[in-house]
Structure formats: structure tokens, C-alpha cells
Amino acid sequence: MREINLVATLLVGACLPGASAELRLGIIGTDTSHATAFTQLLNDPAVGDHVAGARVVAAYKGGSPDISQSYTRVEGYARDLQTKWGVEIVSDIPTLCGKVDAILLLSVDGRVHLEQAKLVLAAHKPMFIDKPLAATLEDAREIDRLAAAAGVPWFSSSSLRYSNVVATLKSPDAQAVFTWGPGPLEEHHHLDLSWYAIHPIEMLYALLGPGCEEVTRVYTADGDIITGKWSGGRTGTVRTLRPYGGYGGVVFRPNQVVLQSPPLKSVGYPALVAEIVKFFSTGEPPVPHEETLEIFAFMDAALRSMKDGGKPVKLPAIP
């Protein structure tokens, strides 16, 4: 894990929640249910699984006019933030950054994350970037490069990393893992698996860790079979389901099969939000940047494998 430089350490230290103070958080992107779900966990002490130590105080709507899942929802979620939790809606990201200690970059459209992150980095605010980190491997690498140059802490994760499915199956000696989950596609995201299939892929990495070397992908209209070869002879397979489906997994250990995971009961929002608050207080990302970038390299190799008829493709190097 890269070391955070002194400037970033002092910045995060200045945001530490004390006995009488909470971190002031700002949201970028009110076009996702995560905006209201995360805010409720943080701002409502009466809600089950309330996460203390931070509060959402302001938000920038954002929204993408060419993605229906964005422009049809942005106003409704913004209104809920205002009326239910007293969140101030501001007109631009620099204004937002001036009102808060840290940023939740939640925009549903991964294509806009790089440009939005640049404005956050210019304000030197630590940030959590919701899935997908970006819409391409190149943009994901650029966010990491710019954040490192600015000395600003960041991390990104799917909440499914903290689901009951992963918690049940987690094993230090996993030799092979099979996960599955929804895999609908969105035409504007060039790295097609980043739109939704990133959820079961993140589950796979939560169970196997980094170290994938080669990927093959077989595509059909109903879904994908994506198989990776890991270092040390381990293997990981993801089955995407289209248009939608449930989540689950199976882990194979030496001379033993861990039975199929139980039904999904929690998508992991409370645990993820708790990790976010902890991260803003310490500056230490719970998911290493190298692992997040490898997930994008995995999806990039899978896309190239699909375009090449399912042939094995080596993962591009992680800077």
C-alpha cells in the first residue's frame, strides 16, 4: 500500500471526529439510491445499523443526460436528501468541497468520475468513489496517479465486498472461487463489466485477493462466464446473469468444498459506510489501490478476450 504523504496525513487528521464534532460529508451525484441509503445510515441515529462519526451536510446533483438510470432519478433523490435529512443542494463541486471535510463521489455514471475527482483533488479532500471507479482502465489509472501526486487519500469498492455472502465464504486457503451476480450492460460504458458485473467480480476479489494473471470470457446474450488464472495455481470464475439475477458463491479449499453461500440478506451498506467513515478518519484505504486497479485490469482483459472469441488474455500491468 502506498504511503500517504505528510500533507494528506495532516489533512485527514484535521477531520478526525471528536467527542463533540462529526465529519462533514458532501455527496457528488444524487442519481443513485446510494445517496439516500448512505445518508440515512449516517444522519438518522434512530435507523438500524446507524453509523456514527460523520454526517452528510451538502450535495451536488450531477446527473448524466444520456443515461436513463441517471437523469430520471437525480431530482427525486436530491429532493429526498433535502426534505428528509436537511442536506443542502449546491450548484457545483468546488462549492461543495468548500463546505465539507470529505467527499462521497457517488455518481452512477463511471464516465464522469475522472473529471469530478479532479475537482475534489484540487480541493485536497479525501474521497470515497462508488462503483465503478471509472468507465475505463485508463481513467482508473489516471485517478490513482493524480491522487498520488496530490497526496489525497481515496478508495473505491462495491458494497458486495461486505455482504453476508462474502462474510460466510471468506477463507484464507481458498484454491478456487465461483461467484455470480447480475450483469446488465449499459451502452455508454466501454468497459462493459464495470457497469454492474463489477459487483460479483469484487466479491471474487474479496475472496481470492489480487494475483490474477490471465482471463478468458465467454459471452452470450444471457450472461458471461469469466475465468481467471491466479498465481500459485488458484482460479476464479464469475458468472454474470442478464438482465438480472441473485448473488452467490462457492469456495473450494484443499480437499474440501465450502457449500454454496446462503441467500443474500445484506448488500453490505452499513459495513461499507462504517469503513468509509473509518477511512476518512485514518486516511488508510481498506481496499488497497493495487487491488482496485487489478479489478479494472481483470475487466479490461475480459473485454479483450470476448472480442477475440474467448481466447485467454494476459492482464495488463498495474503501475
* Amino acid in position 171: S
Q: Quote the mean pLDDT of the chain.
A: 92
- Superfamily covering domain 160-267+298-314: Dihydrodipicolinate Reductase; domain 2 (3.30.360.10)
pLDDT digit string (tens) for 15-56? Answer: 444 434 799 999 999 999 999 999 999 999 999 999 999 999
pLDDT digit string (tens) for 214-249? Answer: 999 999 999 999 999 999 999 999 999 999 999 999
Domain 6-159+268-285: which topology? Rossmann fold (3.40.50)
pLDDT digit string (tens) for 168-207? Answer: 999 989 999 999 999 999 999 989 999 999 999 999 999 9
Q: For the residues of the chain, what is the DSSP string, one character each? A: -PPPPHHHHHHHHHT---TT--EEEEEE--SSHHHHHHHHHHH-TTSTT---SEEEEEEE----TT-HHHHTTHHHHHHHHHHHH-PEEESSHHHHHTT-SEEEE--S-GGGHHHHHHHHHHTT--EEEESPS-SSHHHHHHHHHHHHHHT--EEEE-GGGGSHHHHHH--TT--EEEEEEE----TT-SSGGGTTTHHHHHHHHHHH-S-EEEEEEEEETTEEEEEEEEGGG-EEEEEEESS----EEEEEETTEEEPPPPPP---SHHHHHHHHHHHHHH---SS-HHHHHHHHHHHHHHHHHHHTTS--EEPPPP-
Residues in contact with 255: Cβ distance below 8 Å, sequence separation at least 6, in sequence order? none
**104 pLDDT exceeds 90?**
yes
Whole-number pLDDT of residue 15:
46
User: Which pTM does this prediction carry?
Assistant: 0.91
**Domain segments of the chain as ranges:** 6-159+268-285, 160-267+298-314
Whole-number pLDDT of residue 274:
98
